[in-house]
Amino acid sequence: MTDKNARRDAIILAALVHIPFDGWTIDALNRGAADAGLTPADVDILFPQGPRAAVRHWLQMADRLMLEDLAETDLEALRIRDRIAMLVRTRLERWTLHREAVRRALAISILPGFAEDGLRSGYATVDAMWRAAGDRSTDYNFYTKRGLLAAVYSSTLLVWLDDRSEGCADTWAFLDRRIADVMKVPKAQARVKEVLSRLPNPLSLFRRARRTA
């Protein structure tokens, strides 16, 4: 393997079976490297910041693989809510056998020195999902959509981590409910805007009152 990213991928994928026992540590990465036919020296070169760099790369890799897994899927043929549900589900399902590694990565992400990386990774994930879903907004909706999806994704992730139902059915049912709730927000905003547009302008009323006083 000559490509650095390919070697990083190989080490992390091999290390995932060791992380439940060793955590996101140099020991786990070194064991993963050995399983992938690489060496501790490769770990030092490819992950100069150690486990922090490894977790960061894994999160980026998860976004990349999510898109690759859906490369042959015609997302545009689906409703927006179904596109988002498929993207969230696809990203999580790939790691079902490695939920403990995900849990330990989350624990690391809130530690001092890593929180900023965690926020950036979270933003990158929801941004990748919305772009894959066809979002091209550039106004305030750009940030609103990503904020709402971040809430949906993070809450679904927490349910998924402890879900022992067959095929994670409970998680996907929860996801559908959360998306349904979020879909109500733009409609509610539109209704409020419509109602407000029908109300008289307070400034006009004030001026009229002054003229008749």
Give all domains of the chain, ordered by start, each with its CATH number: 49-212 (1.10.357)
DSSP structure class, residue 163: -
**Residue of 119, 112, 102 whose CA lies nearest to 58:** 102
**pLDDT digit string, tens, across residues 49-69:** 999 999 999 999 999 999 999
Q: What is the mean pLDDT of the chain?
A: 87
**pLDDT digit string, tens, across residues 93-147:** 999 999 999 999 998 888 877 878 888 999 999 999 999 999 988 888 898 899 9
What is the C-alpha to C-alpha distance for residues 172 and 158, in angstroms, rounded to an integer? 12
Contact 146, 124 (CB under 8 A): no
- Percentage above 70 pLDDT, the chain: 85
Q: Distances in Å between the alpha carbon of 10 and those of 6, 160, 175?
A: 6, 25, 31
Q: What residues contact 22, with CB distance under 8 A and at least 6 apart?
A: 28, 31
Give CA angle at 53 (15, 36), nearest 5°. Answer: 30
Looking up tokens 């809430």 gives 151
**pLDDT attached to residue 192:** 40
The pLDDT of 144-154, averaged and rounded, is: 92
Query: Quick one: tokens of 135?
Result: 């979002």
Phi, psi of 74, rounded to the nearest 5 degrees: -85, 85
- C-alpha R_g of the chain: 23
The pLDDT of 63-82, averaged and rounded, is: 95
Rounded to 10 degrees, the C-alpha dihedral 140/142/143/148 comes to 120
The pLDDT of 66-87, averaged and rounded, is: 95
Whether 156 shows a pLDDT value over 80: the answer reads yes
